Each structure stands twice: as C-alpha cells, then as structure tokens.
Structure 1
Amino acid sequence: MPLKVTNLKIAYKGIQAVHGVDFQAEDGKITVIIGSNGVGKTSILKGIMGIVKPTAGEIEYNGVDLLKLSSSKRTSIGLSLCPEGRQLFPNMTVQENLELGAYARSDKGVKSDLHDIFHKFPRLSERRSQKAGTLSGGEQELVAIARALMAKPKLLILDEPSWGLAPIMIDEVVSIIKDINAQGTTILLIEQNANIALRMADYAYVMDVSGIVAEGTGQQLLNDEKVREVYMGA
C-alpha cells in the first residue's frame, strides 16, 4: 500500500484539529477525502508532507515511516503537494514558478521535463514569461498543478483544486487530473465539492470533525442518500 495513515491526530496550540483518522491510498488510483470546511482535511495533508507535526499516529509510504523524514526528503521519495489557494510566487514568471517545483531534484532531466510540461499545458507555454500573479484563477491552478508535477511525483496530493474556479475551468482541471492518473501517478485529492470529487474517485472517504464517518467507491458514495443529503444538497 503506497500510503497508509493510521490514527492520525494533529493539534494546534493544544486544540485538536484531526481526531484519529485512518485511511489509505492505493497505487495507481484516485483516492478522495471529502468534507466540510474546518474538519481538518488540509491539516492531514500538511501532516503527510511534514509541514506540521502530528501529535499521534503513523504515516507510511511504501513501507517507509514518513514521520522520520524531513519535508524535502518526502518530496525526493515521490510525494508532491499542490496546495490549497495555489500559493504561487506572484512576482515570478510562470516558468520560474515551475522551475521551483524541481528544487529537490538532483538529476539532469529538469529541462526536458519542463519542455514536456509546456507541451502538456500549452496555455502555460504561451504565458511562460508572464508573472504568475497576473494570470486568471484557473490559469494559476494549472501552474500550481504543473509545479507539483515538476517534482516527478509518484503520489500527487491535491488540496481543493476546484477552489474559486469557474465551472468551465473546473472541467479542465478535472480532465487534467484524470489524465495525470491515467499516466500512472497515484492521486490523493482533498475536496469540498463532493459531486466533483466523487465522480473522479476510485475510492473515497467522508470526513467530519470526529474523523472518517463513511467510505466506499466514488459511485457507492454518490448513491448514498445520507452523503447526497449532507454534502451535495440532494
């Protein structure tokens, strides 16, 4: 199992944000965690990437204890995060932002991979010399995803990729995520938009403030009346 999270707890200044969460992400699949704002979804991703230190629990990736590794080491063994809100460097160009995605790499393939990224994202190729802060929200999300791909991840972690996007741009981002997965990259996706997320998911977890409250395939949860009522307004 590439990623296995067991009894994960995270607190900020003594206030519990994540209450003993258990889930796993299978190799080559799209795994989704849905839930309302404030239930700790982003905190889980920060714990996986080493941005925050869990107060309890275990996080294993391909049998490796991630809690013993630095954030940069986690990136070097195949994890990459596309954060909520994009977190680009607005005064740097699109190309400069993408090059930063390869900061942990020591191989000689960065230039070639940058060329491939621009081939996959022609809109970004057209704007490679444009400052990231002048792009639309949808274009900035494409930059954030492309920057995460520059780390050559085996597991790509996406935090709210549909946040603030117009419907037509959401469709493009969803298509890109599916294509990335189809090319062999495992995906862990955090989303508030349950309808979008579950339609992408091979397997999904539903989370509230107490932890994981339901799980199943994306289709199973789409057909679950309680999930539809609470998270999709059906």
Structure 2
Amino acid sequence: MGMGVNVREAIAKRAAEEIKDGMVVNLGIGIPTLVANYIPPNINVMFHAENGVLGTGPAPLTGEEDANLCNAGGIPMTVVPGASYFDSTMAFGIIRRGLLDVTILGAFEVSEKGDLANWIVPGKIVSGMGGAVDLAQKAKKVIVLMNHTDKYGNSKIVRECSLPLTAEKCVNLIITDMAVIEITNEGLQLIEVKEPYSVDEVIKATGAPLHVPDYVK
C-alpha cells in the first residue's frame, strides 16, 4: 500500500512548522522535497543543496525549467534572490562545519536511540548514499519524514535497526502519517497523534517502547 498524495503533503506541511525564520535547511529527496511548498511567506529560509546552491526556490513551472539548474537529486529547481552557487566541496564544507540548522530526510528505519538507516536496502540497486551520512551527523536538528509502517505493516520505528546505518544517534524528530515522535535521552516521546488514529494504534504500530505524556496533541 503506497502513501496517498494528501498523506505525503500532510507530513510535509507538519515538517514545515519546524522551520523558523533565518534558518539554513537541507531537504532530502522524496517527501522532504515537498516541505519547501509549505513555508509561509513571512519566513525567510535558505535551502541548501549538496550540489552547490544556497537559496533554492520552489519547483519551476512546466516549460520554465532552466537546464543549468537542478537540485542534488537532479530535479529542476529555481533560486531565490540572494542565492549563491559554489562547488560541492564548499557545499559539504557547510554541512561538515555544522552550519545547517535543520536537515529533513526520508528513512527506511529509525531506532529508539535515533539511529538512522536510510541509504541502502540489501539486494536493491541504489544510486549511493549521497550526502546523507554527513547531513545526519552534522546538522543541528535532524527530522525524519516517513510512513509509520512499511508496505507489509512492519514498524519502521524499531528498537534496533536491521538495515545498514547511515549514522548513529542523530535523529531528533520523526514525523509519520500517524504521529509526531521526539527522540529524547529517555527514549521515544509521543508528541502528536494524527487523525484518524488513536494513541493505542500508534503504540501498536511502533516497534519500540513509546512514552506517552499526559497531554498528546
């Protein structure tokens, strides 16, 4: 069972609430790309692309693409006023110096300690890990957007990741089609439950212990 368009959009919209004025943000491929569409006009944010752009804008209209402008996933993009271009060495220098406020990534699995597995499924052909390792290790805040469970109904939030890790103890916040979960030193903390799900359904769908505070949004 795939994820409906409106579910993907709802996840992206919720993630956009985590972005504050003046931040430098990197968006991964997949659902994270959609986050840019939900940033309110009064919030100034500089989106960073690993292939050498700071200040990427929304997707271009069909027919208005610039052949020289694409993001790290090879998708056509635009730039905003004040944008700058540089080589990928500089792009990774920005990441490795810890200058990114937020990175928003997809994932196959996240553990209760915040370990991230998002770059390879054994036996599948992958294009490579891209900037994921550096982004996950170095960004000030790491937000993962994903389905709560895989297509077989298995939880993607687990005690221990079974897939090769991208980085250890790096994820701060998980936003899924069912819930928003924060990763703390004490483990997983339930922050919000999405309509139409109940707290119990979220607990059942989570493959690791979940702390439920007295108040859940």
**TM range, normalised to the smaller chain?**
0.3 to 0.5
Point out the structure with the larger helix share.
Answer: 1
TM-score relative to the length of structure 1:
0.35
TM-score relative to the length of structure 2:
0.36
